[in-house]
Amino acid sequence: MELLVEGLTVARGGVPVLENLGFRLSSGQVLVLRGPNGSGKTTLLRTLAGLQPPLAGEISLPPEAIAYGAHADGLKGQLSVAENLAFWASVYGTRDIERALVDMNLVALRDRPAANLSAGQKRRLGLARLLVTGRPIWLLDEPTVSLDAASVALFADAVRAHVAAGGAALIATHIDLGLDAAIFDVTPFKADPDATAGDGAFDEAFL
């Protein structure tokens, strides 16, 4: 199980942001993405998650391997914590949400509507969603936003357990998670924004 990226060029709004980028992520590894704001970390993660096509390059990964954790947690305020989690569990064809609730310290909140959670609690629920996907490769976009120190430690433990079980994680973050992780700085791959983003593609005109 391995994520291999070669010669990848990604664009946001039709403008290339990162070009000719490559790395390898094998099971048991954590790779931390670094780079200043606007350097294209989110765009890279969205491309790897399959939400947008790359401009150039190859992404090779096993099918059905990716769990994507975005800035937004995708929670429904009217549903309870357990209902939110159970929904995603059944979408991914898993059933057990208890472990995820325990791991993210949400047991006491399980019947609380998600709308009444604090920002940090919502984030914890968003991260608990990753645990119920059962997917080996986690792509995480600033997972620790609005988490307190104890919750960051909780999250780091969850990543450690995931990796120890043969998973892998690619995490865009600005803080030190205390993980045994390789650092991948995207700054050297910054694309020239004036270069044209491939011509002829019909949808470019609308972006």
Q: Under the rule (CB under 8 A), what is the footprint of another protein?
A: 46, 49-53, 64, 66-68, 70-76, 78-79, 83, 87-88, 90-93, 129, 203, 207
- In eight-state DSSP terms, residue 160 is H
In contact, 25 and 190? CB cutoff 8 Å: no
Smallest distance, another protein to C-beta of residue 21, A:
19
Q: Using CA atoms, how far apart are residues 91 and 85, in angstroms rounded to an integer?
A: 10
Of 44, 67, 63, the C-alpha closest to 54 is 44
Smallest distance, another protein to C-beta of residue 179, A:
23
Angle at 170 between CA 169 and CA 172, to 5 degrees: 135
Of 15, 56, 47, 60, the C-alpha closest to 204 is 15
Q: Which is nearer to another protein, 11 or 147 (CB)?
A: 11
Q: Using CA atoms, how far apart are residues 188 and 184, in angstroms rounded to an integer?
A: 10
Smallest distance, another protein to C-beta of residue 89, A:
8
Q: Which is nearer to another protein, 64 or 96 (CB)?
A: 64
Q: Using CA atoms, how far apart are residues 39 and 30, in angstroms rounded to an integer?
A: 20
| CA end-to-end distance (rounded Å), the chain | 35
Smallest distance, another protein to C-beta of residue 185, A:
25
Q: Which is nearer to another protein, 93 or 200 (CB)?
A: 93
Q: Which is nearer to another protein, 164 or 205 (CB)?
A: 205
Smallest distance, another protein to C-beta of residue 188, A:
25
Q: Which is nearer to another protein, 115 or 150 (CB)?
A: 115
Smallest distance, another protein to C-beta of residue 30, A:
20
Q: Using CA atoms, how far apart are residues 125 and 198, in angstroms rounded to an integer?
A: 40
In three-state form (DSSP H/G/I as H, E/B as E, the rest C), the secondary structure along 47-83 is: HHCCCCCCCEEEEECCCCCEEEECCCCCCCCCCEHHH
Q: Which is nearer to another protein, 66 or 177 (CB)?
A: 66
